[in-house]
Amino acid sequence: MISEKNKKELIAVAKRNCEKAYAPYSNFPVGAALLLADDTIIDGINIENVSFGATNCAERTAIFTAITQGYQAGDLKAIAVAGDTEDYLPPCSLCRQVMVEFCDGSMPIILTRRNGDSKTVTLDELVPMAFDSMEI
Ligand code: THU
């Protein structure tokens, strides 16, 4: 669960972060905003590369930044994603798998679209049957 106030702020920060995206190859800027348990908000942008495979998505940039700063799996509370898209912009499958590593299945993922609407889904909804363990 996330409060309306937190949700609004995350959406605003994610949208603002689009302006910082480094997306000269796709011209598809994406911004993310990751809410942590202590109410810190971590920025995320897509960072592209001339060798396309080296590109990092906005969601992963935010999550890797949080982990780099010393936050841990249980600290990640919600993430918003924004881009200039007509429909809701969902995280790619690589980002979903990174979320599986660090986020609870109940974590709200706030998808947005150009007209300002938002839709909140959980990680479990985005990744049913997640690969999350190498137990044999
Ligand atoms: N991208 C993201 O940053 N997040 C998403 O949710 C979808 C895709 C980026 C990767 C690449 O820089 C550009 O958008 C086009 O795929």
For 30-64, the pLDDT digits (tens) are 999 999 999 999 999 999 999 999 999 999 999 99
Closest listed residue to residue 62, CA positions, set 50, 51, 77: 77
Residue 113: pLDDT band with limits 50, 70, 90? very high
pTM for the complete prediction?
0.98
Per-residue pLDDT band at 67 (split at 50, 70, 90): very high
Is 4 an annotated catalytic residue? no
State what percent of residues in the chain have pLDDT above 70.
100
Residue 1's pLDDT is: 84
Q: Is 104 exposed, middle or buried (0-12, 13-18, 19+ CB in 10 A)?
A: middle
Cα 28 to middle of ligand 1, angstroms: 7
- Does residue 111 register a pLDDT over 90? yes
What proportion of the chain, given as a percentage, has pLDDT over 90? 99
**Average pLDDT over all residues of the chain:** 98
Q: Which of 18, 56, 57, 111 best tests ligand 1's pocket when mutated (most atoms within 8 Å of CB)?
A: 57
Q: For position 82, what pLDDT does the model report?
A: 98
Residue 75 has pLDDT above 90, yes or no: yes
Q: CB within 6 Å of ligand 1 — which residues?
A: 23, 26, 28, 30, 46, 48, 55, 57-59, 81, 89, 91-92, 95
Q: ∠ CA 65-41-9 to the nearest 5 degrees?
A: 145
Report the alpha-carbon distance of residue 29 to residue 21 in Å, rounded: 5
What Å distances lie between residue 65 and 36, 91, 96, CA to CA? 12, 17, 16
